[in-house]
Amino acid sequence: MRDGLKCGVCGREIHESYYRCGECGKVYCLSCAERNPTIKSLGVCPDCEETYEAEIIVKQVLAKMIYEEKLEGAPLSTVLKVCKKAAKDEWGQELSPQKFGRVLRDLGFREKKTIKRIGRRGARLLVFSSFIKHKIPPPEGEPEKQEQLNPFKSG
């Protein structure tokens, strides 16, 4: 008996089988799962699914800034603006500041360490530290295969 397990959507106590989001652990009773297809097909709640998508976009945008534009940092507001546009262009979706913030947190950005306040009005700057760079892979299309070529191999 699972004592007191409740559906995270409708709050009903669960006595039969249920679905659980593999990411945040949110529980869905069968009828709520019926109305939320992503929990059944992908095993994550719609919220976490959207965060995945947002993460892909944010990573792409940051990777471009870090590896192509060789930036060491960028204003938070600028990054958000570029990410919002990318989300709209690629998926026709809105990227909310909340979701954006959650992705930044997941990527390891932290206040005072890699999110610095600058100026009197407190504009915030994202710092692309080596830790952050480690979490963000270079843009796709980087030649990975070259690792297999050994220029020192003797014939």
Instruction: Point out which residues bind Zn ion (CB under 5 A).
Output: 7, 9-10, 21, 23-24, 26, 29, 32, 45, 48
Find out whether 123 and 77 touch, Cβ atoms under 8 Å. Answer: yes
Choice between 7 and 66, CB closer to Zn ion? 7
Show Cβ contacts of residue 36 under 8 Å, excluding neighbours closer than 6 positions.
9, 28, 45, 46
> Least distance (Å) from Zn ion to the CB of residue 27?
8
> Least distance (Å) from Zn ion to the CB of residue 31?
6
> Least distance (Å) from Zn ion to the CB of residue 55?
13
Choice between 39 and 66, CB closer to Zn ion? 39
Choice between 32 and 80, CB closer to Zn ion? 32
Beta strand residue intervals within 46-133, DSSP E? 73-75, 115-118, 123-127
CA–CA dist 113, 93 (Å, integer): 30
